[in-house]
Amino acid sequence: MDKFVARENIKHFRRELENGADEPTRATMLKLLVAELNHLGHNREQLAKLDHHISRLSEIMARHVELMDKLQFNGQSSERASMVLATYNDLMAVYIAHRQRISALGHAGRPPHPPTPPGRSSLEA
């Protein structure tokens, strides 16, 4: 149940962040997002999901920069678009840092340990 709640909170925070947020709100939401990501654990599944989100966010950011260029070229205000891009940058930094944490723990590339046979300690196995 806890993982379900964490996943739903993560979805909510991502949606809110992807819509752009002012600096104080963004900082709070990023902290909450990191806490929920940590609740899900550090495993290969989380690493794969982060890779997907990093790839997706890279594409969104590239399209967003193109949009900002068009706004500026047409003389329109890009203040809101700049705030959204700053949010994307912060979100990307969180994803990359979390990915590095998982990789550093070694869980992502290491197969699970075989179970210890009955009657033996894990040190003997």
58-75 tens-digit pLDDT: 999 999 999 999 999 999
Please state the rounded mean pLDDT for residues 45-57: 92
> Buried (b) or exposed (e) across 90-106, using 16+ Cβ within 10 A?
bbbebbeebbeebeeee
What residue type is assigned to position 55 of the chain? S
What's the mean per-residue pLDDT of the chain? 83
Classify burial at 48, counting beta carbons within 10 Å of its beta carbon; exposed 0-12, middle 13-18, buried 19 or more.
exposed
- Across 91-104, average pLDDT: 92
Lowest mean pLDDT segment, chosen from 9-18, 32-41, 104-113: 104-113
Among 24, 29, 26, smallest CA distance to 9 is for 29
For the question of whether the overall pTM of this predicted structure is more than 0.95, the answer is: no
Domain parsing of the chain, residue ranges: 2-105
Query: CA 15: distance to chain centroid?
Result: 12
Does residue 108 have a pLDDT over 50? no
DSSP string, 58-80: HHHHHHHHHHHHHHHHTT---HH
Q: What is the mean pLDDT of residues 80-86?
A: 90
Tens-place pLDDT, residues 28-47: 999 999 999 888 878 888 89
pLDDT for residue 1: 66
- How confident is the model at residue 106, as a pLDDT? 77
Sign of CA dihedral 36, 8, 53, 91: negative
